[in-house]
Amino acid sequence: MLEGLLIGLQTAMSFQNLAMVIAGCLIGTFIGMLPGLGPMSIIAIMIPVAISMGDPSAALILLAGVYYGAIFGGSTSSILLNAPGVAGTVASSFDGYPMARQGKAGKALTIAAIASFAGGTIGAILLMVFAPALSSVALLFHSAEYFALMVVGLSAIAAFAGTGQVAKAMIMTLLGLIMATVGEGALFNLPRFTMGIMDLQSGFGFITLAMAMFALPEALFLVLKPKNLQDDDGEIKDLRITKAEAKAIAPVIGRQSLQGFFIGVLPGAGATIASFLGYAVERNIAPKHEQDEFGKGSIKGLAAPESANNAACTGSFVPLLTLGIPGSGTTAILLGALIALNVSPGPRLMIDEPQIFWAVIMSMFIGNLVLLILNLPLIPYIAKVLSVPRNFLIPFILFFTLMGAYIGQNNATELLLLVGFGICATVLKFADYPLAPLLIGFILGGMMEDNFSRSMQLYDGIAFIWERPLTLALLVVAALLVVLPSYRARRAKARAAGVAEGD
Amino acid sequence: MALDRWIALVLLGICMAYGYTAWFTMDGSLAPFIRRNPVWPSTFPKVLSILGIIASLIILFGIEKSEPKPAEIDYRRLHEYHLGQALLLLALMVTYALCLRPLGFIFSTSAFLFLGSFTLGERRWHFMLPVALIATCVVWYLVQEVLGIYMRPLPGFIIGG
C-alpha cells in the first residue's frame, strides 16, 4: 500500500496537477454556489475540458477538485441563503441557516469547511483500506434492503417532530411521497396523476421544490418582517470556533464520517440519505438540552450532515473503482469520463493500472486539503454576501431561485410551479408545519418506490420483509428511530411530573 | 378553527382525491400483462393515500396534543406586515416567468431585478440600474458562454425565433 501511495503522490505532486486541483476547486466552489448546478452538472460540463487533456490522472485530479469544490459551494448557498441547490446539502441548511441568521455565518461556513474536509479525508482513508473488501458488502444489498434503508432515511422526520408535531411531520412526509409519484411511474413508465398536463409528465423538479420549500418562504418572510441579516457594523464576528466547540463536534465528525462512508458505499444510497441519517442519528443520541438546539443553529446539527455528505461522496467511489458500478449520478458521469480516457474501472483496475487507482485517492486528499486552504481565507468574503443591502439581496435571492428552476428544466412552466408551491409553503410555514420532511419524502420517494416494486416482483408479494433478515433489521431500526424520541420525551415528562408531586 | 386545522382539511381533500384516483380510476387502463404483476403502478399510491388520510384526520380532530408556541409571524395580523410588497414581488415573479421566453433573458432579468429593488423601496436610480444590468449580463455570460446552456438573450421579434 505504501508503494501505491507513493506512486499516487508522485503523480499528484507535479506542478501541472496542483494547478489543476486549485483551478478545479475554485471553479467548483463558485459555480456550485448557484442553485440548480450541483456537482453532477458541473462535472458534466467540465468533462470536455478533462478529456481534452488526454492524461487520465490529470483529468481525474481536475474532476476531483471540481467535485469537492461543488459540494462545498452547494453548502454555502444553503447556509447563507437557505437555498440548497443539491439534495445532499438540504440537511446542512437545517442548522446552518439559523446560525447565519444569528450572525454566525462565518462560523457556520468554517464548521462546514472543516467538517467537509474531515469527512472527505476520513472517507479517502477508509476507501484506501477497505475498497477491495467492501465491494462484496455492496453486493449484499438487494432492492429489499434499499427499500428498508430508505425507510430508515425517512425516519429522519422524527428529528423534526417536536412535541405534538409528529402528525404534522408525518403528513408532510406523505405529501412529499405523494408528489414524488406524479409523473411517469416506477413501473412500466405509465404517466400517473398528471391530470393530462404534458409539463407534469416528467414529474416535479427537485430544484423547483427545494427552492419553493426553503428559499422562497424565507425570502418572503424577510420581506414581510424586515430584519437585518447581519449586525449593523457589517463585521463578520465569531469566525473562529472555540476549543469547546471543536471538542463538541469532533466526535460527531468522527462518527458521521464512518457512517456516511459506509452508506455511500451502497450503490444508489449516496450522499443524500447519508446526510439525513447523519442528522437524525446525531439528534437522537445527543443529550436532551442539546437536542432542543437542533434546528435552531446547533453546531453539531451542521457538522453531522456536512461530514456525512462528504464521506458518502468518497464512499461512492468504492463500487465505481472496484466493480465498475457507478453508485450515484456523479460517479456515473465520472465513469463515462474514465472510459473516454481509455480506463475501464472494475476488478482489474488495481492490477492493471494501479497508478490510476492511487492517483484518484491522492487527488481526493489533495482536493480536500486545497479546498480547505483556499476557502478558509475566503470565508469572510463569502459571508459578506449577507451584508448586501436588503433591497438588493432579496430580488437577487428570488432571481436565483427562478434561475435554478429554469436551468434545471428549461421550462417556463416550472417557474409558475415554483411560485405556486412557494406560496403554499409560506402558508404551511405560517401554520407551523415543518417543510423539510416534505422535501425528504420527495427526494426519497422515487427511489423508495422503485426498490419496493423491484423487491415485490422478486418475491411475488411482501414476503421479502420477513424473509430477508437484513431488511427486517433495518425496518426495526427505522421504527426505533421514530419511537425512541417520543418515548424518551414521555419518560422525561413522567419523571418531571413525579418530582412535582414529591414536593 | 385555527389555520393548521384548515390546512389539514385541505390536505385531507387532496389525499382523498388522490386516493380516489389510485383506488378507482387509474387501474382501468392497465394492460392485461401488467395486471398479472404483484405490484401495480397504483400500489404505492394506495398505501400513501390511506396513511395520508389518517394523518390529516389526526391533525383535523386535534387528537395529538400540542402546545402552541409563538410563531415568527402571526398570520392573523398579516396586514400589519409588509404584505403589499410581498404580493407585488410574487406578481413580479409570475410576470417574469411569463416574459422570460417572449421578451428574452436580458430584458426580463434586468427589469425583474430593477423592479424588485424598486418594490422594496429603493430609489437610488444611479445605483439600481447599473447593478441590475451588470448582474444580468454577468449571469447571462456565465450560463450561456461558460456553461453552454442556451438562453434566448433578446426578444423573439428582434432575432426572429
Rounded to whole angstroms, how far apart are CA atoms A290 and A307?
Answer: 19
Interface contact B67, partner A, CB < 8 A? yes
Interface contact A465, partner B, CB < 8 A? no
Q: Do B40 and A187 touch (CB under 8 A)?
A: yes
Measured in whole angstroms, the distance separating CA A268 from the mean position of its chain's CA atoms is: 13
Q: What is the pLDDT of residue A424?
A: 92
Interface contact A355, partner B, CB < 8 A? no
Interface contact B89, partner A, CB < 8 A? yes
Q: Are A274 and A310 in contact (CB under 8 A)?
A: no
Q: What percent of chain A has pLDDT over 90?
A: 1
If one counts every other C-beta atom within 10 angstroms of the C-beta of residue B106, the result is 18
Cell numbers describing residue A187: 413501473
Taking CA atoms, what residue in A is nearest to B101?
A: A412
Taking CA atoms, what residue in B is nearest to A423?
A: B90
Interface contact A179, partner B, CB < 8 A? no
Q: How far is A351 from chain B (nearest CA, A)?
A: 37
Interface contact B138, partner A, CB < 8 A? no
Taking CA atoms, what residue in B is nearest to A172?
A: B52
Rounded to whole angstroms, how far apart are CA atoms A108 and A165?
Answer: 27
Q: Which residues contact A247 (CB under 8 A, 6 or more apart)?
A: none
Q: What is the pLDDT of residue A35?
A: 67
Identify the weakest region by mean pLDDT among A319-323, A393-397, B7-11.
A319-323
Interface contact B20, partner A, CB < 8 A? no
Rounded to whole angstroms, how far apart are CA atoms A24 and A43?
Answer: 10
Q: For the segment A17-66, what is each residue's pLDDT rounded down to a tens digit?
A: 788 888 888 888 877 777 666 777 778 777 777 777 777 778 888 888 88
Interface test with A, best of B7, B110, B139 (most A CBs within 10 A): B7
Q: Are A271 and A317 in contact (CB under 8 A)?
A: no
Binned at pLDDT 50, 70 and 90, residue A158 comes out as: low
Rounded to whole angstroms, how far apart are CA atoms A62 and A308?
Answer: 23
Find the CB nearest A407 among B14, B18, B149: B149
Interface test with B, best of A47, A165, A392 (most B CBs within 10 A): A392
Q: How far is CA A52 from CA A28, A56, A221, A359, in A?
A: 19, 10, 47, 18
Q: For the segment A277-318, what is each residue's pLDDT rounded down to a tens digit?
A: 888 888 878 887 777 778 788 888 888 888 998 888 888 888
Q: For the segment B29-87, what is each residue's pLDDT rounded down to a tens digit?
A: 777 877 777 888 888 888 899 989 988 888 888 776 666 666 666 777 777 778 888 88
Interface contact B3, partner A, CB < 8 A? yes
The strand pairing partners of A191, in sequence order, are A184
Binned at pLDDT 50, 70 and 90, residue A420 comes out as: very high
Rounded to whole angstroms, how far apart are CA atoms B138 and B121?
Answer: 25
Rounded to whole angstroms, how far apart are CA atoms A197 and A341?
Answer: 42
Interface contact A449, partner B, CB < 8 A? yes
Q: Do B82 and A224 touch (CB under 8 A)?
A: yes
Rounded to whole angstroms, how far apart are CA atoms A385 and A392?
Answer: 11
The strand pairing partners of A192, in sequence order, are A183
Taking CA atoms, what residue in A is nearest to B129?
A: A392
Binned at pLDDT 50, 70 and 90, residue B13 comes out as: very high
Interface contact A407, partner B, CB < 8 A? yes
Q: What is the pLDDT of residue A233?
A: 43
Taking CA atoms, what residue in A is nearest to B27?
A: A192
Q: For the segment A89-100, what is each residue's pLDDT rounded down to a tens digit?
A: 888 888 888 888
Give the HSE-up count for residue A358: Cα atoms under 13 Å, Cβ half-sphere: 18
Q: How far is A36 from chain B (nearest CA, A)?
A: 11
Q: How far is B100 from chain A (nearest CA, A)?
A: 7
Rounded to whole angstroms, how far apart are CA atoms B46 and A109?
Answer: 43
Taking CA atoms, what residue in B is nearest to A401?
A: B93
Q: Is the pLDDT of residue A501 over 60?
A: no
Q: What is the pLDDT of residue A234?
A: 45
Rounded to whole angstroms, how far apart are CA atoms B22 and B3?
Answer: 28
Q: How far is B81 from chain A (nearest CA, A)?
A: 5
Interface test with A, best of B30, B46, B48 (most A CBs within 10 A): B48
Chain A residues touching residue B93 (CB < 8 angstroms)? 398, 402, 415, 418-419
Rounded to whole angstroms, how far apart are CA atoms A445 and A360?
Answer: 33
Instruction: Specify the higher pLDDT residue, A240 or A285.
Output: A285
Q: Do A164 and B11 touch (CB under 8 A)?
A: no
Q: Which residues contact B142 (CB under 8 A, 6 or more apart)?
A: A31, A34
Rounded to whole angstroms, how far apart are CA atoms B145 and B160?
Answer: 21
Position B17, amino acid: A
Q: Is the pLDDT of residue B160 over 60?
A: no
Q: Is the pLDDT of residue B26 over 60?
A: yes
Q: Is the pLDDT of residue A188 over 80?
A: no
Q: Which long-range contacts (CB under 8 A, 24 or more apart) does A291-298 make?
A: A294/A94, A294/A95, A294/A159, A295/A94, A295/A95, A295/A98, A295/A160, A296/A95, A296/A98, A297/A95, A297/A98, A297/A99, A297/A101, A297/A102, A297/A104, A298/A95
Interface contact A411, partner B, CB < 8 A? no
Interface test with A, best of B10, B44, B134 (most A CBs within 10 A): B44
The predicted model gives B107-128 an average pLDDT of 85
Rounded to whole angstroms, how far apart are CA atoms A302 and A98?
Answer: 10
Q: What is the pLDDT of residue A421?
A: 92
Please name the helix (run of DSSP H) or strand (run of DSSP E) that holds residue A183, with its range, or none. strand A183-184
Q: Is the pLDDT of residue A333 over 50?
A: yes
Q: Give CA angle at A421 (B99, B156), nearest 5°.
A: 15
Q: Which of A319, A294, A310 is nearest to A133 (CA)?
A: A319
Q: Which of A248, A292, A204, A228 is nearest to A488 (CA)?
A: A292
Q: How far is A403 from chain B (nearest CA, A)?
A: 10
Taking CA atoms, what residue in A is nearest to B1?
A: A431
Q: How far is B32 from chain A (nearest CA, A)?
A: 13
Find the CB nearest B94 among A185, A419, A431: A419
> Taking all residues of chain A, what is their mean pLDDT, rounded to a whole number?
79
Rounded to whole angstroms, how far apart are CA atoms A404 and B31?
Answer: 38
